[in-house]
Amino acid sequence: MKGVVYRDTHEKAWRHLVDLQAQVRDHVAVLGLLLIIDEAEGYAFLRSRPDDEGDYDGLPRLIPRRSLSFHVSLLLALLRKRLAEFDARGAETRLMLSRSQIVEMLALFLPDGSNEARLVNQVDAHINKVVELGFLRRVTGQDDLFEVRRILKAFVDGQWLAGLEEGLASYMGEMSGNTEETQ
């Protein structure tokens, strides 16, 4: 399992994984990994065991941690919020967003500039990174339409959002401190 297994795109692997999940959990536990299966949302993935579990001291980290830029983290938080709002409405199962909707969401948090083309290029780079991470998927045949993948709910949870909020607060504190020094 390298990456995420989705029920809708990996049907055979999904069936095997659900049927053999106890054996898979035992197998990956030896490697210091946890199997996470969300049958309701239709995805499964491996996660490193928390560092506070002492039985796995000294094992190398098999799943790398990725440091995200501020704007990519912000985009993930905005997408998660949009997904929660979409789920609250309960009409459909797949959240689809156009590139222009994503640009509009993120543009509110980017510095004002006169060069709109540069702004769109920056947002496109952030979108591409989120696609690369697997939280957005381009809709086949429509390059400007994206599906927000439900795996986002597993990674952007309340704890992650609280950490982002703390980071934003310290960032805002530094920014306000810097402006006072220059005055």
Q: What pLDDT is stored for residue 182 in this prediction?
A: 39
Measured distance CA(80)–CA(85) in Å, rounded: 9
**Domain shared by 82 and 115, yes or no:** yes
Q: Is residue 51 domain-resident?
A: yes
Per residue in 130-159, pLDDT tens? 998 889 999 888 878 999 998 888 888 777
- The answer to whether residue 87 is domain-embedded is yes
Q: Would you say 6 and 42 are in contact if contact means Cβ atoms under 8 Å apart?
A: yes
Q: Establish if 137 belongs to a structural domain.
A: yes
pLDDT value at 22 more than 90: yes
In a domain, 62, yes or no: no
How many angstroms separate the CA atoms of 138 and 131, rounded? 8
Distance CA 65, CA 25 (A): 21
Residues 27, 115, single domain; the answer is no
Q: Are residues 138 and 82 in the same domain?
A: yes
Q: Give ∠ CA 71-128-174 in degrees, rounded to 5.
A: 10
Total number of residues shown for the chain: 183
37 and 80 together in one domain: no
The SS3 of residue 143 is strand
Work out the angle between the directed axes of helices 116-133 and 70-89 (0-180°, nearest 10).
70
- Enclosing domain of residue 12: 5-56
Inter-residue long-range contacts of 28-37, CB under 8 Å, 24+ positions, other chains counted = 31/59, 31/62, 32/56, 32/59, 32/62, 33/62, 33/63, 35/1, 36/154
The verdict on 32 and 74 lying in the same domain is no
Q: What is the average per-residue pLDDT within 6-11?
A: 88
- What confidence tier does 74 reach under pLDDT thresholds 50, 70, 90? confident
Per-residue pLDDT tens over the stretch 88-126: 887 677 899 999 899 888 877 777 666 777 777 888 899
Give every CB contact of residue 41 below 8 A, 6+ residues apart in sequence.
Answer: 150, 151, 153
29 and 113 both lie in a single domain: no
Is 39 within a domain? yes
Considering its fold, how many domains does the chain have in total?
Answer: 2
